Structure formats: structure tokens, C-alpha cells
């Protein structure tokens, strides 16, 4: 009784667990139950039950409701699909003027909007692409095919790679200095001599359209939400879901709405990249001290001036993190959108992975990562750039960079011209190194992989077998053994204990959605993989973070490493693990672990760092040793922030688990991937994506609520 | 008195929903407690006063007394709930957005407690900011800003960022920025509260020097009574949104209007605040001794001389005409008397 009074929470949790396990043991596994493998589900089977809702037929295997809830939401994907189809093809037909055929044509409104949007995006991408690589689409867009036939010299020739490399280096020098210039130059040279020029420029043109558009939309919507509570309230739920929505899942509806190609990829990248930009814009604007705003007002700013000259620059730090996120997402999507036909490095990467040509994949992946890091650093330097009013500069000093660029353009053209003589009859390497004609280390890597396989095969296989047979399979079986009702009780109970009725209701709604969808089993598999990844990631991340924190330099170094790793597009992580472990669940899990360890480490260091110096001194004066200080002072205070790290770790892990479907897993991701090639996949893909997002949101809600309470309790902001 | 620059007529500021309606219903009889029960917080309660051209009005009050709110009503950073505010005869609350911006660009400058500098701009860019907002071209605005940099003694640091400056230096930038457009009206919201005592004194002296030179119309907010006494032409003491007393420093020290005001004055070293004129007897000009003192002397400076006299001491004005007299014992009375509890 005494204990009960002293630790009421502890006993409540204990009680919850007892109920959970009691339910697990009380509810038997139905004899007919089996985990449904991929193909079997669309087979019509007399054992299936059927119901009709809104005119849609839903077929499913019925079990005891305590074991698995019936898929009462099974009609949703079909319904979404039909609605999309209706909107695109039948809704609001209107007369539109057709340029090509010079007559009016009847088309549904949405289709027309989609086509216009598509045309606009295509034009933008082609414009940049043709400046970099040459082509005639842009000229044609302004004139006609006949015109270009008459004046063939109007075709854009494209820039020799030497000029682009010099341009990138000069721009970097202007923005930041020698270091970045060197990095930019080397990156471009690497790309060129390794024969990745064309795909790299294709990817770059995609990014140069997608990133600025995402930035502008994100900033604009963020400002709108900052100014109007109503806009914020409308945006907030969408933002939340999008934060945890796997990127695969949004591809499928995009396919239906915008078709296949770079333009669809840009639009879908915006859908993914805009939400974090909005959130960070709001965050930054909210954090501005009110006196700074008043100072702006008293300086006589109009609303526009206040926004452009006071608010946005003052919120620069957070907005920059937003830009960083946008760039990260864009590169991530540059790979993933190769699934819907975006050209460039991503496509090559996927192709190489598909052919198990690890060496080629590695080279393409390295290119993407290098360009990502370069653009990230350049955008950062640009935002931090200062003007100098007092330098009495000569004409040469003021226009130094322009002169250098003009000179490099000239030299580049001359070199390319000379190249036509040197490489007569073959490829002009001074103009562009064609794809697969450059140096390639692919053979070396492939041989390396073969060597690793030959040499360590026994060990890798033994490890693999052990992990799968002794750890993963039992864990998966345990997760699948959970009756739906028990899971619900556990989730809702945890919600109630952490955040009261409100949290309990939110968690219940999210869990029920998944439970009533046709993919509960799949969700459990996703959950088990994510759990495994998160647990290991947290163990590694918290340990590494704590160790690095002991020394200022190593902490800073580790944060830098996290920064760089975070810039890599998520798909790149699959390359090395496939190198080592081939196509197995182990590969996916290791990729998950590597990827998710980043936030775990980062937040641990940041959390420990945020412990006030005064407390350190107080602790030292109380005579604690290093270990005591860590356990008694630093951990308890840093814990809330570390829990936010856990939250991020979960999101990252879920992302990677879903991406891992590319290697082949039996979770929700597998179905999302399958929906991509399904004509009627839009509804399924979207619903699956929402399921994954909801798994993330359940944990997000619980952790955030807990952290909020804990921080209040500890009196830290 | 010369012309009135700022004029407030029963200004109210009440925070909360339905504030306007409740104010109308209260019929000029606003009670903070009843309002609070209905979920409204009274920031400023029936403030009426005038500030003359070139005058420095210091508004003194503890935190939450509504002094900053009052200032923000007059600068229209928030809209007053009721009452009228006139700036040079213009009804402030009637101005539209464009006119308000024009007024701020030409007539008003404001200094903030937390400096409120723009973190992404250098010292000189911060100072030039109001000018650039106005549309002054870059060269002119930077030149003008450099003059201001010299005025506040920050030469050589014009390319520093705010984060690289000490608190005192940052506030110098804040002051320079508020003066860059040559405003007539200068609002200062606890400008020296965030500074160390020594720096604060230095800045106060610097501020007095500037004011002597510039002769602006000033509203100065502080929670420091000593600072108020040192700087003010007149002091308004606020409590719970109400102006308890508005008078010259000497009158506040000598005749506190309410118990609340008296508490502040108790600890004040009067000999440092009062001048001879405040304590002299203007009616008796006869039987004077040899010593004459000026009526504008601070008591502390002449007390020793006066106390050695046995006869009445004559008080003269700047033209050496006798305007009154003072008894040596009056000095002792003033310094030690009049304080209850004999502290």
C-alpha cells in the first residue's frame, strides 16, 4: 500500500502491462489464421467474407474480432481511387483552346489544370537542362518545330563541363571562400571524369527547379500561417501527417494526377519538401523577440518591409535549417522519384542496384551526395553573406568574379573547340565526357564486393542466419501474435497514462484506423522492423553521443559527421549494406540502424550540451565524480531532449524500413512499391502511406506529450 | 509652458475579449479587480497628461504597473482601448496605417530595454535601417549613420555585429538608431535597465549630455526611482495602470500624493535631489547674513557652507537678486526630518 502511494504511476503501468499480457494469453490464435503473403490477397477465395459499402465490394478473411478487427475501412482505397479517377476524367468538363490543333477541345477541369501545371514544370526543367546540356525544346516552346528546322543553329549547344565547373568554383569562392571553391571544383571534375556528367546535370536541373519552388511555397505558406491562426489550424494536421508520411507513398497519387516524368517528380518533391519548410518558418518567426518587431514598426516599416527586412532575416537561422531540409528532401526525392520516371543519377542508381552492380551504384550515389553537400554549403554561405560598404574597391576588385567567369567561359569554349580537333571522330572529352565513357571504378568495387563475399561468406552468412533465425523471426512472430484488442488496449492505456483522455483518444483513433484497414498484419511487421532498428539505433546513438560529449572537440566533430550523413539521400544507405549482406532483411535493418542512429546521436549530444553550466559547477562543488555527474545531473536534465531524439529516430527508422521494401521486405512498404506499378494503386498507396504516417504519429504524440510535461516539471523551457 | 507635443485624455488599455464593451459599460469607472474577474486585464487606467516640447517626462513604476503599455499606446504599437491621444495636435488613433508610418518615419524614435537590434545587420546597418526604410539611398543613409556612430562614441566598431558588442555598446547602437531620422519625439523604454550599475550611470550621463544638445521631447520609462529623479523634468508614478502622481521630482519628494509614492521617496537622499529654491522661505528677505547662495544649487553642494552660518542665508537668482532666505536649521530639517520611523 505504501509503495502504491509512493509510485502510483509505476503501478498504473504495471497494471496496464498485466492486462495486455493477460489479453495476449487469453485470446487464442485462430486455427485458420496465417500471414498473407504478397500475391495471394487478390485471389478470390470462397473462404473470404464479403461486404459492400458505398457500392464497393470488400473481400477479406474474417477472424475473431478480438484477434483481428475486420477491415471496415477496406472500401477507402477503392473509393479514393474511383474519386481520383472521376475527378480527373469526368468532373467539370470544360472547353479549352488547344494550341496544337488550333481548336476548342472539351476536357475535365482538373485534367486541364494538371496538364498546364505539367507543361509549366516541364518547361522550367527543360530550360535549365538545356542550358547545361543543350537541346531544342525550349526554343521550340517559344516558336515551333518548323522554325527550328529552318534555323537549326538556334538549338542550344549546352555548356562545356569546364565552364560549369569553373562557374561553380567561382560562385563558391564568391559566397564563401577558397575551401568551398576547391570542393566545388573537385566535385565537378570528379563528376565529369567519371562519366556522370549528363545524369548529374539532369538531376541538378531537377533540383534547381524543385528546391527554389519548395522554398518559396514553404516560406509563403509559413508566413501565411504565422499571420493567420485560421490558416495555421488548417495546415497543421496536414503538416503532421506529411512529416511522417513515407516518400514512396506520395508517389502513387502523383502518378495518377501528373503522369510519369520529371515534372511529376518536381511536383511530388514539392509536396514532400514544403511541409518541413513551413514548420521551420513558423518556428523561426514565432521565436522573434517582440521588441525587435516593435523596433521595426517604430522605424516606420510598412507590413512588407517588416516582413522582408525584419522578420525573415531575424528568423534566418530556422529558415536556413528549412532550406537545408528542402535540399535534403529534394535529393532524397531525386532518387525515389526515379520510380516515376525522373531522369538522372537517381535512375542510374536504381538501375545499378537492380542489376546488383554495386560499383556503379556507389559512383552514382557518391555523385548525388557530393552535389547535395555542395548545394547545402552554398545555400548556407549565401544566406550568411555580408555587404561591405567601406571598401574603396577598384573596378577590377569589384568585378573580379565576373571577369574570371567571363574568362573561364572563353577558355572553356576555346578548349571545347580545340577538343573537336584532338578527339576527331570520337567523343569530345573537353566538351562533355559521355556517360560510361569516363573512368570507372565500378569493376574495382564489384570485385571488392565479390572478394568480401568469397572471403567472409561463412561469417556473413552465419551472422545473417543467426540474426534472422534467432532474433528477427521470433520477434516478428511475437509481434504478429498480439491480438488486435490487446494492442489497442496497450496503445490507448499508454496514451491515457502519459497524456490523459486527450492523448488516449488521439492514439485510439490513429490505431483504429490502422486496425480497420486491410493491412494490420503488415503494419505489425513494419512496426517490428522499426522497433528493432530504433532499439539498436538508440543504444548506439546514446552511447556514442555520451562518449563524444565527454570532450568538446569530439562532440563538435560528431555533430559535423551527423550533418554530412544527413545530407546523403536516404537511398544511398542501401548501397553499402547490399554490398555486404546482399538482399536480405538484415540489409534493410542495418540500413535502418545506420540511418536512424544519426538523430539519436545528434539529440543526445545536443541534450547533454544544453545542461546549464551553472549546474555543472554546482555539481562539481558538491564533489561528484564524472560518472555521478552524468547519471545524477546530466542525464535527467538532458532526457527530455533525448526523447525528442527518440521521436526523430522512430521517424527515420520508419522511412528507411519503407524504403527497404526495394530490397524486399514483407511490410507496408512492399505494398506501396507494388501500388506504384498498379493502375489502380493510387488509393492503396495513399492509404498505406497514411497507415505508416499514423504509426509514426502515435509515437510522436506520446513522446511529445511526455516531453512537454517533463520539461514543465523540470522548469526548462 | 511652451507648446504641447504629446497629450493624453483618459487613455485606457484593457487586454482581453470584449474589452471595449466592458470599458463602455464601466462608464469611466474602471476597477482592475472586477475586470480581472471577468477575464480582462487593465493595463492603463485613465491616464491623462501632457508633455511639452523639449520636456522629459519619466514614467516610473514597478513591473506590471502599465508603464510600458502606456508608452506603447502613445507610440501606437498597441491601440488604446479608450481615450484620446494627440501628437502635435494630430489625433493618433484616427491616423490610418499610411499616416502612422509617415509619422513614425519623421517624428518618432524609440529605444528598447533589450536593445532590439537586428541580429543580421552590422552596427552601421542597424543605425541606417530606419533611413533605408524611409527610402534614403544607400550612400546617404550610411554616411548619416556614420555621423550617429560618432555621436554615440562607437567609432571603429561600425562593422561589428550586435552579438560582438557589450550591452552598453548595443544600447548605444539602439540610441543611435532611434535618433538617425532626427525625430522630435523620443521614446525610451527602460533603456538602461539591462545594464550594469556602472555602465548605467555612464549611459545616464551620456544621455543627459545628448539631451542637452538635442532638446527632444522625451518619454522615458524606468523602474528605477533614482534614475527618474536624476533625469526627469517631471515624473509620473504608476501603479496598477493608474498614474498615482505626476509632478516635478522635488514636489514628489517633498509632497508625495499617496502612501505608495511616499514609500519610494522615503529612502531618497533629499540633499541630492532638492535645490535651494525648493526649501527656501520666499517671504523673508531681511536680516540676512553675509553668505549668499544661488537658488539653483543642489542642497548637498552648499549644505556645509550654510550649516556653519548662524544667521539667515540669502538666496539669489541668476541676476544676483535676492529672492528669499534659508535658515541653517532648515537644511537639517530637510535632510533628516520628515522621514517617518526615523530611518
Which residues are paired to B41 by β-bridges? B15
B195 and B252: one domain? yes
Q: Do residues A319 and A312 make contact, with C-beta atoms less than 8 angstroms apart?
A: yes
Subunit contact A295:B112, Cβ cutoff 8 A: yes
Q: Is B30 helix (H, G, I), strand (E, B) or coil?
A: coil
Q: Which three cell numbers stand for residue B309?
A: 552660518
Across the interface, of A292, A305, A313, the residue whose CB is closest to B116 is: A292
Backbone angles phi, psi at A52, to 5 degrees: -115, 135
pLDDT of residue A320: 86
Find chain A residues with C-beta within 8 A of B142's C-beta: 389
- The model's confidence at residue B341, banded by pLDDT at 50, 70 and 90, is very low
Q: Give domain status of residue B311, yes or no.
A: yes
Q: Which three cell numbers stand for residue B337?
A: 526630518
Least confident residue range of A43-52, A361-370, A608-617, B185-194: A43-52
- The domains of chain A, with CATH numbers, are 2-89 (no CATH), 454-481+517-714 (1.10.3720.10)
HSE (side-chain half, CA atoms, 13 Å) at A586: 21
- The model's confidence at residue A539, banded by pLDDT at 50, 70 and 90, is very high
Distance CA A688, CA A684 (A): 6
B283 and B265: one domain? no
Nearest chain A residue (CA) to B185: A298
- The model's confidence at residue A582, banded by pLDDT at 50, 70 and 90, is confident
Query: Measuring CA to CA, which residue among A414, A491, A420, A442 is closest to residue A195?
Result: A442
In the DSSP assignment, the letter for residue A574 is H
CATH code at B255? 3.40.50.300
Subunit contact A299:B102, Cβ cutoff 8 A: no
Q: Which three cell numbers stand for residue B22?
A: 466592458
HSE (side-chain half, CA atoms, 13 Å) at A599: 19
B211 and B121: one domain? yes
Nearest chain B residue (CA) to A304: B133
Subunit contact B120:A313, Cβ cutoff 8 A: yes
Distance CA A1, CA A4 (A): 5
- The model's confidence at residue A42, banded by pLDDT at 50, 70 and 90, is low
Higher model confidence: residue A357 or residue A526? A526
How many degrees, rounded to 5, is the angle at CA A344 between CA A339 and CA A348? 70
pLDDT of residue A494: 93
- The model's confidence at residue B8, banded by pLDDT at 50, 70 and 90, is very high
Mean pLDDT (whole number) for A424-452: 73
Distance CA B67, CA B237 (A): 9
Q: Do residues B282 and B328 make contact, with C-beta atoms less than 8 angstroms apart?
A: no
Nearest chain A residue (CA) to B189: A291
pTM value > 0.95: no
- The model's confidence at residue A1, banded by pLDDT at 50, 70 and 90, is low
- B48 contact partners, CB below 8 Å, separation of at least 6: B8, B9, B10, B11, B83, B243
Query: Measuring CA to CA, which residue among A674, A517, A683, A677 is closest to residue A87?
Result: A683
A298 in contact with chain B, both atoms CB, cutoff 8 A: yes
Q: Which three cell numbers stand for residue B66?
A: 502599465
Q: What is the pLDDT of residues A631-669, one digit of tens each?
A: 888 888 888 888 889 998 999 999 899 888 888 777 888
Q: Which three cell numbers stand for residue A233?
A: 489550424
B56 and B195: one domain? yes
Q: Which three cell numbers stand for residue B239?
A: 501603479
List the 137-196 stretch of A: residues with Cβ below 8 A of B.
none
Chain mean pLDDT for chain A: 84
In the DSSP assignment, the letter for residue A30 is P
Across the interface, of A291, A298, A300, the residue whose CB is closest to B134 is: A300
Asked if residue A40 has pLDDT above 60, the reply is: no
B134 and B282: one domain? no
- The model's confidence at residue A388, banded by pLDDT at 50, 70 and 90, is low
Q: Which three cell numbers stand for residue A445?
A: 568495387
Q: Is B46 helix (H, G, I), strand (E, B) or coil?
A: strand
Which residues are paired to B186 by β-bridges? B109, B218
Asked if residue B337 has pLDDT above 90, the reply is: no
How many degrees, rounded to 5, is the angle at CA A569 between CA A565 and CA A572? 85
Across the interface, of B77, B117, B133, the residue whose CB is closest to A305 is: B133
Which residue is it, cell 463602455?
B24
B264 and B285: one domain? no
> Could you tell me how many CB contacts below 8 A there are between chain A and chain B?
70
Q: Give domain status of residue B18, yes or no.
A: no
Find chain A residues with C-beta within 8 A of B115's C-beta: 291
Q: Do residues A279 and B79 make contact, with C-beta atoms less than 8 angstroms apart?
A: no
pLDDT of residue A72: 83
Q: Which of A289, A292, A295 is the best mutation test for B, with the most CBs of B within 10 A?
A: A295
In the DSSP assignment, the letter for residue A570 is G
Strands A56-60, A49-53: pairing kind? antiparallel
Find chain B residues with C-beta within 8 A of A295's C-beta: 110, 112, 116-118, 174, 177
Q: Is A64 helix (H, G, I), strand (E, B) or coil?
A: coil
Q: Give domain status of residue B36, yes or no.
A: no
- The model's confidence at residue A694, banded by pLDDT at 50, 70 and 90, is very high
- Numbers of helices and strands, H then E, in chain B: 15, 13
Q: What is the pLDDT of residues A170-192, one digit of tens each?
A: 888 888 888 899 999 999 988 88
Backbone angles phi, psi at B167, to 5 degrees: -55, -45
CB count in 10 Å sphere of residue A642? 24
Q: Give domain status of residue B71, yes or no.
A: yes
- Four-point Cα dihedral B127, B133, B139, B142, nearest 10: 0
Mean pLDDT (whole number) for A155-170: 81
Domain stop point among B242, B270, B298: B270
Which residues are paired to A187 by β-bridges? none
B286 and B149: one domain? no
B128 and B202: one domain? yes
CB count in 10 Å sphere of residue A706? 18
A304 in contact with chain B, both atoms CB, cutoff 8 A: no
Question: What is the H or E stretch that residue B42 is in?
Answer: strand B41-52
Question: What is the H or E stretch that residue B171 is in?
Answer: helix B167-179
Q: Do residues A703 and A654 make contact, with C-beta atoms less than 8 angstroms apart?
A: no
Mean pLDDT (whole number) for B259-270: 85
Subunit contact B109:A301, Cβ cutoff 8 A: no
Q: Do residues B120 and B51 make contact, with C-beta atoms less than 8 angstroms apart?
A: no
- The model's confidence at residue A535, banded by pLDDT at 50, 70 and 90, is very high
Q: Which three cell numbers stand for residue A660?
A: 527497404
- The model's confidence at residue B343, banded by pLDDT at 50, 70 and 90, is very low
**Among residues of chain A, what percentage have pLDDT more than 70?**
92
Least confident residue range of A392-396, A676-680, B88-92, B96-100: A392-396
Q: Where are the alpha helices (H) located in A194-228, listed in sequence order?
A: 197-227
Chain A: closest CA distance from residue B281 (Å): 47
- The model's confidence at residue B50, banded by pLDDT at 50, 70 and 90, is very high
Q: What is the pLDDT of residues A198-214, one digit of tens each?
A: 888 889 888 999 999 99
B241 and B121: one domain? yes
Distance CA A255, CA A123 (A): 19
Q: Which three cell numbers stand for residue A17?
A: 502491462
Least confident residue range of A186-195, B148-157, B167-176, B334-343: B334-343
B194 and B75: one domain? yes
- Four-point Cα dihedral A577, A580, A583, A585, nearest 10: -60
Higher model confidence: residue A98 or residue B60? B60
pLDDT of residue B342: 39
Which residue is it, cell 488516449?
A504
Mean pLDDT (whole number) for A509-518: 92
Distance CA A528, CA B315 (A): 95
Nearest chain B residue (CA) to A292: B116
B280 and B254: one domain? no
Q: Give domain status of residue B41, yes or no.
A: no
Distance CA A647, CA A530 (A): 12
Distance CA B76, CA B185 (A): 13
CATH code at B279? 3.90.1280.20
Q: Which three cell numbers stand for residue B217?
A: 521631447
User: What residue numbers bound the domain in which B249 lies?
Assistant: 51-82+89-270
Q: Is A184 helix (H, G, I), strand (E, B) or coil?
A: helix
Chain B: closest CA distance from residue A312 (Å): 10
Asked if residue A46 has pLDDT above 70, the reply is: yes
Nearest chain B residue (CA) to A388: B159
Backbone angles phi, psi at B239, to 5 degrees: -145, 130
- B62 contact partners, CB below 8 Å, separation of at least 6: B223, B239
Asked if residue A345 has pLDDT above 60, the reply is: yes
How many degrees, rounded to 5, is the angle at CA B54 between CA B117 and CA B68? 45
A300 in contact with chain B, both atoms CB, cutoff 8 A: yes
Q: How far is CA B144 from the centre of its chain?
A: 27
How many degrees, rounded to 5, is the angle at CA A512 between CA A710 and CA A54? 145
Distance CA A330, CA A371 (A): 11
Find chain A residues with C-beta within 8 A of B122's C-beta: 386
Chain B: closest CA distance from residue A613 (Å): 20
Distance CA A293, CA B167 (A): 19
Domain stop point among B245, B270, B295: B270
Task: Quote the number of domains for chain B.
Answer: 2
Question: What is the H or E stretch that residue A82 is in?
Answer: helix A75-89
Q: Is A478 helix (H, G, I), strand (E, B) or coil?
A: helix
CB count in 10 Å sphere of residue A513? 15
**Among residues of chain A, what percentage have pLDDT more than 90?**
23
List the 373-412 stretch of A: residues with Cβ below 8 A of B.
386, 388-390
Distance CA A273, CA B125 (A): 34
Q: Do residues A155 and A139 make contact, with C-beta atoms less than 8 angstroms apart?
A: yes
Find chain B residues with C-beta within 8 A of A314's C-beta: 118-120
Q: Give domain status of residue B230, yes or no.
A: yes
Q: Do residues B341 and B267 make contact, with C-beta atoms less than 8 angstroms apart?
A: no
Q: Is A367 helix (H, G, I), strand (E, B) or coil?
A: helix
Domain stop point among B235, B252, B270: B270
Least confident residue range of A500-504, A641-645, B333-337: B333-337
Q: Which of A302, A389, A390, A392 is the best mutation test for B, with the most CBs of B within 10 A?
A: A389
B337 and B235: one domain? no
Distance CA A305, CA B135 (A): 11
pLDDT of residue B89: 87
In the DSSP assignment, the letter for residue A467 is I
Q: Give domain status of residue B266, yes or no.
A: yes
The full length of chain B comes to: 343
Least confident residue range of A140-144, A478-482, B22-26, B226-230: A140-144
Q: Which of A287, A294, A299 is the best mutation test for B, with the most CBs of B within 10 A?
A: A299
Distance CA A484, CA A468 (A): 25
- A709 contact partners, CB below 8 Å, separation of at least 6: A498, A499
Q: Give domain status of residue B31, yes or no.
A: no
Higher model confidence: residue B275 or residue A272? A272
Chain A: closest CA distance from residue B130 (Å): 5
Subunit contact A292:B118, Cβ cutoff 8 A: yes
Chain mean pLDDT for chain B: 86
Mean pLDDT (whole number) for A362-380: 87
Amino acid at each position: 500500500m505504501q509503495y502504491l502511494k509512493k509510485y502510483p504511476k509505476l503501478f498504473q503501468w504495471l497494471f496496464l502491462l498485466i492486462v495486455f499480457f493477460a489479453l495476449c494469453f487469453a485470446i487464442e490464435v485462430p486455427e485458420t489464421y496465417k500471414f498473407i503473403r504478397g500475391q495471394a490477397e487478390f485471389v478470390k477465395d470462397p473462404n473470404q467474407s464479403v461486404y459492400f459499402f458505398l457500392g464497393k465490394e470488400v473481400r477479406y478473411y474474417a477472424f475473431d474480432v478480438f484477434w483481428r478487427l475486420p477491415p471496415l475501412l477496406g472500401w477507402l482505397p477503392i473509393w479514393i481511387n474511383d474519386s481520383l479517377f472521376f475527378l480527373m476524367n469526368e468532373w467539370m468538363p470544360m472547353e479549352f483552346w488547344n494550341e496544337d490543333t488550333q481548336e476548342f477541345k472539351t476536357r475535365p477541369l482538373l485534367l486541364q489544370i494538371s496538364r498546364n501545371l505539367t507543361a509549366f514544370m516541364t518547361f522550367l526543367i527543360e530550360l535549365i537542362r538545356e542550358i547545361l546540356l543543350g537541346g531544342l525544346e525550349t526554343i521550340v516552346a517559344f516558336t515551333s518545330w518548323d522554325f527550328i528546322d529552318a534555323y537549326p543553329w538556334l538549338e542550344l549547344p549546352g555548356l562545356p563541363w569546364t565552364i560549369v565547373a569553373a562557374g561553380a568554383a567561382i560562385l563558391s569562392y564568391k559566397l564563401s571562400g577558397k575551401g568551398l571553391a576547391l570542393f566545388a571544383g573537385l566535385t565537378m571534375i570528379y563528376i565529369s571524369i567519371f562519366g556522370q556528367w549528363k545524369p548529374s546535370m539532369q538531376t541538378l536541373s531537377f533540383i534547381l527547379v524543385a528546391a527554389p519552388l519548395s522554398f518559396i511555397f514553404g516560406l509563403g505558406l509559413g508566413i501565411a500561417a504565422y499571420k493567420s491562426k485560421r490558416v495555421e489550424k488548417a495546415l497543421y494536421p496536414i503538416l503532421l501527417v506529411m512529416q511522417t508520411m513515407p516518400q514512396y507513398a506520395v508517389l502513387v497519387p502523383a502518378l495518377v494526377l501528373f503522369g510519369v516524368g520529371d515534372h511529376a517528380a518536381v511536383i511530388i518533391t514539392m509536396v514532400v519538401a514544403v511541409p518541413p519548410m513551413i514548420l521551420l518558418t513558423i518556428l523561426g518567426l514565432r521565436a522573434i523577440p517582440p521588441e525587435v518587431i516593435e523596433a521595426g514598426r517604430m522605424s516606420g516599416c510598412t507590413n512588407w518591409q517588416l516582413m522582408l527586412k525584419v522578420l525573415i532575416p531575424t528568423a534566418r537561422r530556422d529558415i536556413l535549417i528549412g532550406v537545408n531540409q528542402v535540399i535534403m528532401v529534394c535529393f532524397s526525392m531525386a532518387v525515389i522519384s526515379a520510380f516515376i520516371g525522373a531522369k538522372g543519377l537517381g535512375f542510374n542508381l536504381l538501375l545499378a542496384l537492380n542489376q546488383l552492380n554495386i560499383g556503379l551504384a556507389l559512383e552514382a550515389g557518391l555523385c548525388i551526395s557530393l552535389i547535395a553537400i555542395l548545394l547545402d554549403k552554398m545555400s548556407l554561405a549565401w544566406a550568411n553573406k555580408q555587404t561591405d560598404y567601406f571598401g574603396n574597391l577598384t573596378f577590377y576588385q569589384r568585378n573580379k568574379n565576373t571577369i574570371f567567369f567571363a574568362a573561364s567561359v572563353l577558355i572553356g569554349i576555346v578548349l571545347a573547340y580545340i577538343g573537336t580537333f584532338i578527339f576527331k571522330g570520337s567523343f569530345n572529352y573537353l566538351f562533355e565526357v559521355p556517360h560510361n565513357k569516363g573512368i570507372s571504378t565500378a569493376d574495382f568495387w564489384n570485385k571488392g564486393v565479390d572478394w568480401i563475399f568469397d572471403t567472409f561468406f561463412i561469417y556473413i552468412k552465419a551472422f545473417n542466419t543467426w540474426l534472422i533465425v534467432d532474433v528477427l523471426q521470433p520477434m516478428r512472430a511475437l509481434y504478429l501474435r498480439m491480438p488486435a484488442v490487446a494492442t489497442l488496449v496497450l496503445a490507448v492505456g499508454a496514451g491515457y497514462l502519459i497524456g490523459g483522455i486527450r492523448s488516449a483518444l488521439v492514439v485510439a483513433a490513429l490505431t483504429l484506423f490502422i486496425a480497420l484497414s486491410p493491412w494490420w498484419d503488415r503494419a505489425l511487421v513494419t512496426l517490428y522492423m522499426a522497433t528493432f532498428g530504433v532499439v539498436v539505433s538508440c543504444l548506439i546513438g546514446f552511447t556514442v553521443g555520451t562518449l563524444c560529449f565527454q570532450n568538446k572537440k569530439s562532440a563538435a566533430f560528431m555533430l559535423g559527421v551527423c550533418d554530412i550523413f544527413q545530407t546523403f539521400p536516404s537511398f544511398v544507405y542501401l548501397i553499402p549494406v547490399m554490398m555486404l549482406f546482399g538482399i536480405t532483411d538484415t540489409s534493410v535493418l542495418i540500413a535502418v540502424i545506420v540511418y536512424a542512429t544519426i538523430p539519436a546521436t545528434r539529440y543526445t549530444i545536443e541534450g547533454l550540451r544544453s545542461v546549464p553550466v551553472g549546474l555543472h559547477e554546482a555539481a562539481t562543488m558538491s564533489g561528484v565524480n564524472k560518472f555521478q555527474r552524468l547519471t545524477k545531473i546530466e542525464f535527467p536534465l538532458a532526457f527530455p531532449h533525448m526523447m525528442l531524439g527518440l521521436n526523430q529516430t522512430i521517424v527515420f527508422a520508419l522511412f528507411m524500413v519503407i524504403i527497404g521494401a526495394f530490397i524486399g521486405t514483407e511490410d507496408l512498404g512492399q505494398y506501396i512499391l507494388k501500388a506504384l506499378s498498379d493502375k489502380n494503386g493510387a488509393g492503396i498507396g495513399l492509404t498505406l502511406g497514411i497507415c505508416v504516417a499514423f504509426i509514426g504519429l502515435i509515437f510522436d504524440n506520446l513522446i511529445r506529450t511526455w516531453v512537454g510535461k517533463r520539461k514543465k516539471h523540470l522548469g526548462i523551457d | 509652458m511652451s507648446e504641447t507635443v504629446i497629450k493624453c485624455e483618459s487613455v485606457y488599455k484593457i487586454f482581453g475579449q470584449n474589452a471595449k464593451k466592458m470599458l463602455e459599460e464601466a462608464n469611466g469607472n474602471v476597477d482592475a479587480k472586477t475586470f480581472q474577474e471577468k477575464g480582462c486585464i487593465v493595463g492603463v487606467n485613465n491616464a491623462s497628461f501632457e508633455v511639452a516640447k523639449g520636456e522629459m517626462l519619466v514614467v516610473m513604476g514597478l513591473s506590471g504597473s502599465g508603464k510600458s503599455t502606456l508608452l506603447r499606446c502613445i507610440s501606437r504599437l498597441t491601440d488604446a482601448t479608450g481615450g484620446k491621444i494627440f501628437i502635435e495636435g494630430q489625433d493618433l488613433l484616427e491616423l490610418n496605417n499610411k499616416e502612422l508610418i509617415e509619422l513614425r518615419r519623421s517624428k518618432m524614435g524609440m529605444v528598447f530595454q533589450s536593445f532590439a537590434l537586428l541580429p543580421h545587420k552590422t552596427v552601421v546597418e542597424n543605425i541606417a535601417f530606419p533611413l533605408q526604410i524611409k527610402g534614403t539611398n544607400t550612400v546617404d543613409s550610411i554616411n548619416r549613420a556614420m555621423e550617429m556612430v560618432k555621436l554615440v562614441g562607437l567609432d571603429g566598431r561600425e562593422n561589428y555585429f550586435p552579438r560582438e558588442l557589450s550591452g552598453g555598446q548595443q544600447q548605444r547602437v539602439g540610441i543611435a538608431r532611434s535618433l538617425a531620422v532626427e525625430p522630435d519625439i523620443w521614446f525610451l523604454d527602460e533603456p538602461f535597465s539591462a545594464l550594469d550599475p556602472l555602465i548605467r550611470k555612464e549611459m545616464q550621463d551620456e544621455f543627459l549630455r545628448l539631451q542637452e544638445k538635442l532638446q527632444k521631447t522625451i518619454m522615458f520609462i524606468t523602474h528605477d526611482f533614482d534614475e527618474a529623479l536624476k533625469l526627469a523634468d517631471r515624473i509620473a508614478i504608476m501603479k496598477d495602470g493608474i498614474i498615482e502622481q505626476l509632478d516635478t521630482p522635488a514636489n514628489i519628494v517633498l509632497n508625495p500624493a499617496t502612501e505608495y509614492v511616499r514609500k519610494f521617496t522615503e529612502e531618497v537622499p533629499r540633499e541630492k535631489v532638492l535645490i535651494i529654491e525648493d526649501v527656501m522661505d520666499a517671504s523673508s528677505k531681511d536680516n540676512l547674513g553675509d553668505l549668499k547662495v544661488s537658488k539653483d544649487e543642489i542642497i548637498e553642494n552648499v549644505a556645509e557652507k550654510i550649516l556653519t552660518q548662524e544667521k539667515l542665508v540669502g538666496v539669489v537668482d541668476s541676476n544676483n537678486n535676492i529672492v528669499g532666505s534659508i535658515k541653517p536649521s532648515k537644511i537639517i530639517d530637510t535632510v533628516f526630518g520628515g522621514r517617518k520611523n526615523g530611518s
